[in-house]
A and B are shown apart, each in its own frame.
Chain A
Amino acid sequence: DGGITQSPKYLFRKEGQNVTLSCEQNLNHDAMYWYRQDPGQGLRLIYYSQIVNDFQKGDIAEGYSVSREKKESFPLTVTSAQKNPTAFYLCASMTIRQGSIDSNQPQHFGDGTRLSIL
């Protein structure tokens, strides 16, 4: 089945450690996104990528890094510089309809990764 796969479902980070969250999609979507969700709050954009080998910072990129070497994959690294990494991380993807004034394409989401500090 086509979809977005995030792994692992749960992840624990030690102090000073970098951890990488995986996001893979087989929907042939052009754009991919990473969001952070804190308890009881909405989603905030970390990074996004509209094309392979290119990505842009979102609203809360500090302490995070990404890569987009393949269309299907958009891993997120939470670095030791991110002092409060405990949160729920959601990956999303969507197709881009070029030339459309009013694209109605929604973003499709994975099931998320819960990251906690040990």
Chain B
Amino acid sequence: AQKITQTQPGMFVQEKEAVTLDCTYDTSDPSYGLFWYKQPSSGEMIFLIYQGSYDQQNATEGRYSLNFQKARKSANLVISASQLGDSAMYFCAMREGPNAGNMLTFGGGTRLMVKP
């Protein structure tokens, strides 16, 4: 079974509007962390935001926020006030356990295109 599932291969959003990118995960470990990365066309991976399994509140970082629903095992990324520079691939990733090699398992990604 897929550990990280991103069901939206591609999405369009109008500039200045908000957009939600979906991510569901599968783990039986009570301790885990969820990460979102942005990958522009140049290829580098840019860390955006983190949510820990024990965090009581949804994470926020500037225009990025996480809609974390633990019971549903979802960690959707919300980007507010979209900008043209937000056009990129977005990846959700999970780290399981406190010391499982600190490895990340990545989803297949969502390509976001911001329309002017």
Contact = CB atoms under 8 A, between A and B. Distances in A.
A109 interface: yes
Nearest to A101: B98
Contacts of A109: 37, 44-46
Interface of B: 4, 31, 33, 35, 37, 42-47, 50, 52-55, 91, 93, 95, 98, 101-109
A43 B37 CA distance: 11
Interface residues of A, number: 32
Given A94-B102, A102-B31, A111 B54 contact: no
B98 A100 contact: yes
Given A41-B109, A109-B45, A101 B103 contact: no
A29 to B, nearest CB: 11
A65 B13 CA distance: 42
B56 to A, nearest CB: 12
Contacts of B4: 42
A107 B104 contact: yes
Contact of B102 (A40, A58, A96, A111): A96
A106 B105 CA distance: 13
B103 A33 contact: yes
Nearest to A112: B43
